Amino acid sequence: MTFSEYSQLKQQIVISVGHNDKHSQILSALKEYYRDEIDSPRRYEQINTIGQLIRVLEIRDVLSQDNVAALKEVASRLPNNSELLRKISDYESSHIPSGYINQYDIDRQQNISMKEQKEILNDHTCGIISPKKKERINETIVEEIGAFWRDLARNLKIRECVIDEIDNDNKKLCEKASKILTIYEHRADPQRWFFVLCDALEKSRRKDISRSLQDIMSMRI
């Protein structure tokens, strides 16, 4: 399962805000705007990234596949936002509410075409990130992937013989995960590596790590 159109929009929002010089100001303004919806002083204080805010809004049912008004609100606060707002509007006009969608439509919406992937990646150059941010991303995967490292390797299209070799040569799970990332990064397209990595994590049933990476990507580090 690849990113759905809805997930693509959320990811673009996270990256757009994260790359903006006024990230902190935008996040603070949005937290205040949605203070009543957050409805918890403790949770309010714990929101430190736009990704975390988006997840809280989803929990509060303010944001969903059928209602992306909150994404439009975030996008409206960004400079040079016309293209992003257009994509949100296109999504709203073409999206079929989940109550009326059949399984075929769900499968179709959950599969992003290569053309759509390139469009997203042309908008946001994910290859240009700070060494500290990339290090944090790698550390998160190495520390949290655990026994799912082999699934991740397969979903990153690493050959089975290479996976077996890594398994035999390294005792610790963290070492195996580190080797996988080294191999992947060596051959990955620097403009696509982040999206491919998140997609592979979700296919490996580790959506939680994918979400953590999106939070890291939105940080000003």
**Confidence (pLDDT) at 98:** 57
**Confidence (pLDDT) at 110:** 46
Q: Tens of pLDDT along 5-30?
A: 888 888 888 888 888 888 899 999 99
The whole-angstrom separation of Cα 158 and Cα 162 is: 7
- Mind listing the domains of the chain with CATH numbers? 5-123 (no CATH), 131-218 (1.10.533.10)
**Confidence (pLDDT) at 97:** 67
Question: At 221, is the pLDDT very low, low, confident or very high (cuts 50, 70, 90)?
Answer: low
Assess whether pLDDT exceeds 80 at residue 84: yes
Q: Tens of pLDDT along 132-170?
A: 888 999 999 999 999 899 999 999 999 999 999 999 999
Lowest-pLDDT range of 13-22, 75-84, 192-201, 212-221: 212-221
Assess whether pLDDT exceeds 70 at residue 113: no
**Confidence (pLDDT) at 114:** 41
Assess whether pLDDT exceeds 90 at residue 179: yes
Average pLDDT over residues 85-104: 71
Mean pLDDT (the chain) is 82
Assess whether pLDDT exceeds 60 at residue 118: no
Assess whether pLDDT exceeds 90 at residue 104: no
Q: Which residue has the higher pLDDT, 123 or 39?
A: 39
Question: At 47, is the pLDDT very low, low, confident or very high (cuts 50, 70, 90)?
Answer: very high
Assess whether pLDDT exceeds 80 at residue 112: no
Assess whether pLDDT exceeds 70 at residue 2: no
